[in-house]
């Protein structure tokens, strides 16, 4: 049974010595192999609307960014992407969009229903903060999973970078609990290196992953977008001297490795943001330090450039078939396998006939 104390978590987050970090990464990789195996699951990402009514201080899709041409894909275009996911051998599609009020919950439910009836795909939704009634409707339509990163577990920082939609707007942690109640597999996650984020904040993020018992954990570096208040430096959340984290590949890899050690059975992607800050090796690096999922982009090339959450996104001009080839090549070069089927949490253990006690019994975090 692995044990890791709060103090040790903070020490690892501050660690810079390459040989010590190699130990951390090897530990995380062993935990990954033991609990989720060598399969890497491919989740095809469909970014189907770049309209958003929110004003998140770091995100290029924020409504106030008038320099962005917005698009909304048609139902036929989305279904075309789902068919392509099947033909490329993916087990899941992730339907992602900004908080776009023009997309009705019924319209989305119909598309989810079609994909579930006509294909073997698992459907993951990533549509931001929606009402309990909408989330319930999509679940009834067959949606399997929901991704809603909470971005940071530090409440003050969270509030500074997420203006509320309404004074009583929901809180993302509460929404994740609601989603779990509805029977979704739930995904959360954070950005690493947000201005105003301290090492303590990152340790808090790791604790929150465990407390929520997340099925999926997305961790990516924060990348400054010049058309946003946080990225332009106009907004500077305070942080104590020497406490500011950075959005480097190393810091991101430490967080991925610690998330794997603390949450052994979670599905953890090697994120596009990590691939963006190290185009040559970022994706593979994530897979070497605990990740077991990648999310190839299925968005038609003419829209991709417009879904500019942050600048210079990886694979911006690659066609879906090319990303598919490229990723399979990378996976094989690591001596790993491409997962088949939906790749839900817990599948790997079932296959191995190795259903372990619950997470909390496996890893004890000492307060």
Residues that bind ligand FES (CB under 6 A): 296, 315, 318, 322-323, 326-327
The nearer residue to ligand 5AD, 191 or 258, going by C-beta atoms, is 191
Q: Which two tokens stand for residue 278?
A: 């190290």
Of residues 28, 97, 216, 309, which one binds ligand 5AD by CB under 6 A? Answer: 309
Of residues 273, 291, 295, 338, which one binds ligand 5AD by CB under 6 A? Answer: 273
Q: Is 242 left (phi over 0), alpha (psi -120 to 50) or beta?
A: left
Smallest distance from ligand 5AD to CB 37, Å: 27
Q: Is 145 in the site for ligand 5AD (CB under 6 A)?
A: no
Q: Which residue is associated with the tokens 């975090």?
A: 365
Smallest distance from ligand FES to CB 304, Å: 11
Cα–Cα distance, 278 to 289 (Å, whole number):
15
Q: Is 149 in the site for ligand 5AD (CB under 6 A)?
A: yes
The nearer residue to ligand 5AD, 138 or 222, going by C-beta atoms, is 222
Smallest distance from ligand FES to CB 323, Å: 3
Q: Binding string to ligand 5AD for residues 51 to 90, with x set by CB under 6 A, is what?
A: -------xx-------------------------------
Smallest distance from ligand 5AD to CB 67, Å: 15
Q: Could you tell me which residues come within 8 angstroms of residue 301 by beta carbon, excluding any fewer than 6 positions away?
A: 317, 318, 319
Cα–Cα distance, 264 to 247 (Å, whole number):
24
Q: Which two tokens stand for residue 290?
A: 């605990």
Smallest distance from ligand 5AD to CB 104, Å: 22
Smallest distance from ligand 5AD to CB 220, Å: 5
Give which of 255, 283, 287 is closest to 33, Cα–Cα. 287
C-alpha dist (Å) from residue 270 to 6, 249, 275, 290: 25, 11, 8, 9
The nearer residue to ligand FES, 29 or 318, going by C-beta atoms, is 318
Helices (H) and strands (E) in the chain, counts: 16, 10
The answer to whether the CB of 270 falls within 8 A of the CB of 285 is yes
The nearer residue to ligand FES, 318 or 356, going by C-beta atoms, is 318
Cα–Cα distance, 156 to 282 (Å, whole number):
30
């Amino acid at each position: 049974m692995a044990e890791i104390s709060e103090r040790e978590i903070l020490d690892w987050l501050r660690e810079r010595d390459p040989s010590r970090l190699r130990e951390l990464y090897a530990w995380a990789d062993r935990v990954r192999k033991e609990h989720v195996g060598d399969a890497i699951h491919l989740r095809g990402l469909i970014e189907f609307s770049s309209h958003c009514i929110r004003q998140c201080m770091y995100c290029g899709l924020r409504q106030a960014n008038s320099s962005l041409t917005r698009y909304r894909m048609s139902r036929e275009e989305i279904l075309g992407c789902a068919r392509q996911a099947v033909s490329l051998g993916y087990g899941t599609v992730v339907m992602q969009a900004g908080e776009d009020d023009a997309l009705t919950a019924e319209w989305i439910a119909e598309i989810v229903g079609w994909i579930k009836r006509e294909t073997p795909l698992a459907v993951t939704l990533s549509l931001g903060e929606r009402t309990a009634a909408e989330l319930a409707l999509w679940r009834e339509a067959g949606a399997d999973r929901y991704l809603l990163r909470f971005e940071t577990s530090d409440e003050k920082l969270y509030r500074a970078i997420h203006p509320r939609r309404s004074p009583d707007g929901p809180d993302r942690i509460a929404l994740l609990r609601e989603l779990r109640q509805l029977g979704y597999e739930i995904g959360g996650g954070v950005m690493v290196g947000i201005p105003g984020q301290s090492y303590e904040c990152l340790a808090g993020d790791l604790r929150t992953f465990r407390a929520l018992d997340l099925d999926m954990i997305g961790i990516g570096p924060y990348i400054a977008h010049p058309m946003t208040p946080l990225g332009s430096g106009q907004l500077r959340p305070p942080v104590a001297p020497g406490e500011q984290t950075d959005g480097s590949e190393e810091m991101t890899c430490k967080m991925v490795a610690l998330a794997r050690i603390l949450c052994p059975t979670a599905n953890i992607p090697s994120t596009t943001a990590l691939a963006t800050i190290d185009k040559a090796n970022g994706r593979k690096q994530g897979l070497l330090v605990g990740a077991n999922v990648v999310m190839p982009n299925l968005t038609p090339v003419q829209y991709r450039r417009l879904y500019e959450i942050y600048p210079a996104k990886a694979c911006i001009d690659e066609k879906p078939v090319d990303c598919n080839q490229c990723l399979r090549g990378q996976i094989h070069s690591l001596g790993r396998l491409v997962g088949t089927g939906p790749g839900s949490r817990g599948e790997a253990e079932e296959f191995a006939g190795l259903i372990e006690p619950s997470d909390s019994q496996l890893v004890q975090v000492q307060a």
